[in-house]
Structure 1
């Protein structure tokens, strides 16, 4: 089934196009693939990036917040980099170009998601405390991509590199993986010494 990629805010797309058109921005990007590519570059597959703010090991509804939009930058038939945008007081603005393992992992997870047989709205979900990024496949394909939290039927696919003990590229129902993440984020209990 096809993924229903949500449209990015027009100012976010314009900011990436402006950065791609700026020789200074591309040269200063420090992404070898982006600097060495010949031919046109195009931003594609915009994915909203949410941060997991709070998750309860007991399985209560997690809280997320939108922090940006990520575009895969294509040259021909392959992604050579990604571009992030962020929301500022003046609106959406270009943040940075980058490449690395999450670029390849995102493409792999998107291809994997297309074989699941169910339509989803793809998003990215970040857990900064665990240095973890996941493809979040939201069941409501018509939902506002800038809002919401993982629903019980949503699927989360940890991207490589994943934290120890969590398998990369293995799809999990949100109700299975979020409690595990909640346990890892929970403060360690204080040990009491006998008096």
Structure 2
């Protein structure tokens, strides 16, 4: 079943296109960009940040912080461009490179082969230096709805924190307790004298 991608806000896409057209764009003119015949933004994903997962009050609620676009050359993604929400609307934030580019592409391809329909998103867990592909189980949900449903899938991207296998889908209700456990300090075995 194909993924049901969200459509990025027009202003977010315009800000990314303007940054790509700038003569000071960091990826422009690099060997990666030149080898792939220029770059174009594709596969927009809303980016949510999940903080305070060990806090009281039930499951945490991720907040939408931006839109990330894969920057594709002729045949592969070589970077990302991100727009963030400001008081004045959507504005270009930054370009990115590194292992999450390829990992996102791989995770999206695997997710597209799943039998159920999903809305793809990115979920960042800064406390663990972790980025996941969040597959929301309700294909009709709006991108501004940051509600984590227990049956949603989280696919950790590589590099994942130690002990968490990348590219394996986990239900939210199975992965969040594991993440919470990792963030809670272990009790002392004995008290210092």
Q: Same fold (TM over 0.5)?
A: yes
Q: Is the 8 A contact 2:36 2:75 kept in 1?
A: no
Q: Is the 8 A contact 2:51 2:127 kept in 1?
A: no
1:36-79 per-residue CA deviation (whole Å, 9 max, x = no partner) reads 34534211110011011232499942221111110001112211
Q: Is the 8 A contact 1:31 1:98 kept in 2?
A: no
Tell me, in whole angstroms, the C-alpha distance in 2 between the residues paired with 1:115 and 1:142. 19
Q: Is the 8 A contact 1:54 1:64 kept in 2?
A: no
1:92 matches 2:100: no
Tell me, in whole angstroms, the C-alpha distance in 1 between the residues paired with 2:53 and 2:147. 10
1:12-56 per-residue CA deviation (whole Å, 9 max, x = no partner) reads 0000011111122246x796523x345342111100110112324
Tell me, in whole angstroms, the C-alpha distance in 1 between the residues paired with 2:117 and 2:5. 10
- In structure 1, the gaps of 5 or more residues are none
1:95-115 per-residue CA deviation (whole Å, 9 max, x = no partner) reads 111111000000000001011
Aligned to 1:6: 6
Change (3 A) 1:112 1:126: same
Correspondent of 2:191 among 172, 190, 193: 193
Tell me, in whole angstroms, the C-alpha distance in 1 between the residues paired with 2:68 and 2:192. 52
Per the normalisation by structure 1, the TM-score is 0.89
Q: Which runs of 4+ in 1 moved over 6 A?
A: none
Q: Is the 8 A contact 2:43 2:70 kept in 1?
A: yes
Tell me, in whole angstroms, the C-alpha distance in 1 between the residues paired with 2:67 and 2:77. 16
Aligned length: 193
Tell me, in whole angstroms, the C-alpha distance in 2 between the residues paired with 1:133 and 1:38. 26
Change (3 A) 1:10 1:193: same
Tell me, in whole angstroms, the C-alpha distance in 1 between the residues paired with 2:36 and 2:159. 29
1:151 matches 2:149: yes
Change (3 A) 1:54 1:100: same
- In structure 2, the gaps of 5 or more residues are none
Aligned to 1:19: 19
What RMSD, in angstroms, separates the aligned Cα atoms of the two structures? 2.4
Correspondent of 1:180 among 163, 178, 181: 178
Per the normalisation by structure 2, the TM-score is 0.90
1:132 matches 2:127: no
Which moved further from structure 2: 52-61 or 98-107?
52-61
Q: Is the 8 A contact 1:43 1:74 kept in 2?
A: yes
Q: Is the 8 A contact 2:36 2:74 kept in 1?
A: no
